[in-house]
Chains A and B, each alone.
Chain A
Amino acid sequence: MVVWTDFERATIADIFSKLDYEAVGGATLARCLIVYPWTQRYFANFGNLYNAAAIMGNPMIAKHGTTILHGLDRAVKNMDNIKSTYAELSVLHSEKLHVDPDNFKLLSDCLTIVVASQLGKAFTGDVQAAFQKFLAVVVSSLGKQYH
Chain B
Amino acid sequence: MSLSAKDKDTVKLFWAKVADKAEEVGSDALSRMLAVYPQTKTYFSHWKDLSPGSAPVNKHGKTIMLGVGQAVASIDDLNAGLLTLSELHAFTLRVDPANFKILSHCILVVMSIKFPNDFTPEVHVALDKFLAALARALSEKYR
A residues near B, CB below 8 A? 30-31, 34-35, 52, 55-56, 109, 112-114, 116-117, 119-121, 123-126, 128-129, 132
Interface string of B9-48 (1 = CB under 8 A from A): 0000000000000000000000110111000000000000
Report the Cα distance A109→B105, complex, angstroms.
8
Select which of B52, B105, B116, B128 is within 8 A of A125 by beta carbon: B52
CB distance from A134 to the nearest CB of B (A): 12
Q: With an 8 A cutoff between CB atoms, is B141 at the interface? A: no
Chain B residues touching A, majority SS: helix
* Total contacting residues, chain B, CB less than 8 A: 19
Chain A residues touching B, majority SS: helix
Select which of A56, A116, A119 is within 8 A of B121 by beta carbon: A56
B116 contacts A120, C-beta separation under 8 Å:
yes
CB distance from A106 to the nearest CB of B (A): 11
A117 and B116 in contact, given A125-B32, A128-B32 (Cβ under 8 angstroms): yes
Tell me the nearest residue of chain B to A30, going by C-beta: B121
A114: chain B residues within 8 A (beta carbon):
112
Report the Cα distance A128→B52, complex, angstroms.
13
A117 contacts B35, C-beta separation under 8 Å:
no
Report the Cα distance A121→B34, complex, angstroms.
17
A123 contacts B36, C-beta separation under 8 Å:
no
Report the Cα distance A114→B116, complex, angstroms.
9
